[in-house]
Amino acid sequence: MISQDFQHVRAWVFDLDNTLYHPSARLFDQIEVKMTDWVMRTLSVEREEADRMRAAYWQLYGTTLAGLMREHDVDPVSYLVDVHDISLAHLTIDDLLASHIRRLPGRRIVYTNGSAPYAERVLQARGLSGLFDAVYGVEHADYRPKPEREAFEAIFSADGLNPAEAAMFEDDARNLAVPHALGMRTVHVAERPAPAPHIHHHTDDLAAFLGRLLE
């Protein structure tokens, strides 16, 4: 049973985007447009170049913002405010997911490469407000993103979390490598599996997985 793999877990860490809501909501379609527009305005480049930079920096640095900060010394605060100013109309309240998260024993945390204020908006739209003991954004790791080890260590240290008694739920498989190395139980939440030694479990339905875990 799945539950046996999580008997030791006392801290539950959830990514936000495409993890606590289904990718079919396509929020990143909106965010990517905002990112490209921001890069065009701020760096005075054409859309094609801005799009290329957005994708390349995400691949190389973990987030577009990390690349922009390292290579162009941009202001992360204005960037995060702008790119997360999107509609959440496609999100729906998920009572089943909320019920399962509420039943998890121990500390419940959201940790996202987005901003904490944006995360709070998403949680409210999903009916998940008030279920988490802490919500951490990239700003809480001094703008260092997952998958950097220093980012995880900054968040976990600030929270007082013991990775050996924690689990991480994440849609981006590369962001589970460090949690695994730190001793966490890892769950890849995505449509398609990405088999790798640092992934313990995969699910395409977080609510159903948590339901089985709680049996």
Residue type, 111: Y
- 9: confidence class by pLDDT, cuts 50, 70, 90: very high
Report pLDDT digits (tens) over 183-202: 999 999 999 999 999 999 99
Q: How far apart are CA 119 and CA 137, in angstroms?
A: 8
Q: How far apart are CA 158 and CA 154, in angstroms?
A: 6
What CATH number has the domain bearing residue 118?
A: 3.40.50.1000
CB 110 within 8 A of CB 119: yes
16 shares its domain with 54 = no
97 shares its domain with 158 = yes
43 shares its domain with 125 = no
Range of the domain at 32: 27-83
141 shares its domain with 188 = yes
8 shares its domain with 52 = no
78 shares its domain with 32 = yes
- Measured over the CA atoms of residue 98, residue 99, residue 104 and residue 106, the dihedral's sign is positive
69 shares its domain with 105 = no
95 shares its domain with 201 = yes
Report pLDDT digits (tens) over 10-59: 999 999 999 999 999 999 999 999 999 999 999 999 999 999 999 999 89
Which residue among 83, 100, 126 closes a domain? 83
CB 129 within 8 A of CB 117: no
Q: How far apart are CA 52 and CA 54, in angstroms?
A: 5
36-73 burial string, b = 16+ CB within 10 Å, else e? bebbbebeeeeeeebbebbeebbeebbbbbbbbbeeee
**pLDDT at 1 exceeding the cut of 80:** no
- Mode of pairing for the β-strands spanning 185-189 and 166-170: parallel
Specify the residue for token string 């007082």: 160
Number of domains the chain is built from = 2
179 shares its domain with 205 = yes
What CATH number has the domain bearing residue 44?
A: 1.10.150.450
79 shares its domain with 95 = no
95 shares its domain with 75 = no
109 shares its domain with 50 = no
Q: How far apart are CA 162 and CA 125, in angstroms?
A: 30
Q: How far apart are CA 111 and CA 120, in angstroms?
A: 11
Report pLDDT digits (tens) over 103-139: 999 999 999 999 999 999 999 999 999 999 999 999 9
Which residue among 83, 101, 119 closes a domain? 83
